[in-house]
Structure 1
């Protein structure tokens, strides 16, 4: 879908310089001399490079629509993670590097959203919160009763988080997968 240069909004995915770019920041500039333009900060979806580009209203840009599909996490095989399309039951293998450090939050049967462009995966979204058990938690230091004093703990998947002093080993907690932080005790 073609759009004018001044119609780019943050979050839009565009095709530029034979690659896919996501608009991170958009600033509309009206200089005293010359025509108005949009100063756009772009991030490459394939390799992570950043680029600042100016688009005039007369420029036409190809806006790309990404397909979002739900996949179910099945298992890890070497450095790859295997997912199953919940509609067609076809399997998709993604490298652990593609998922990043959040791959440790994947649990058997977890549903994730994969963004596809021409059937090629370019992004993955995990659920916002996951429930995990505390494997190790430091003992509470006497006198540290202030609510802002958190202590380190290790989750069952090996990830370290800071938790309130009342959380102990064996308890289940809810963790934010984006920020990798403690949210609350699990019900």
Structure 2
């Protein structure tokens, strides 16, 4: 887990007891996207003792996620966290607009002000005009596992040593409303 992010999470009060591990939720369209965008973060978070949950819009071959140390779950229609609220949620840009449940999760997290939110997209970091860029520098183990996971997903095994995320969401108005169900 990036030093900046873990330091930020530790500084906030938690709703849980001290023995409860931090929780990271990662939301993406498919296995390949998760591996490419956040595979190193997933590995480093697990190695740091975090509980990591991965949710996918489309189910697929889970082998690449197993290489990272997690299993993919189908994206639920609603996220019900009650007491065990995530400490961090990382998600694909555009997902809150496509999925009502994700949009509500992000909005609820913003209102709670205890959850770090970050998104990834295909835009270069320089294209983002506002917000904070979070760069997660992969450990050598995370880089190796990510490269193997990329191979398992059928991608070239050329992983960058840094994963970039954008944390520009400050209030519920920053997120467009989810699309109505058809």
Q: TM-score, normalised by structure 2?
A: 0.21
Report the structure number with the largest CA radius of gyration.
1
Q: Identify the structure with the greater strand proportion.
A: 1
Q: TM-score, normalised by structure 1?
A: 0.20
Q: Identify the structure with the greater helix proportion.
A: 2
Report which structure shows greater RCO (CA 8 Å, sep ≥6).
2
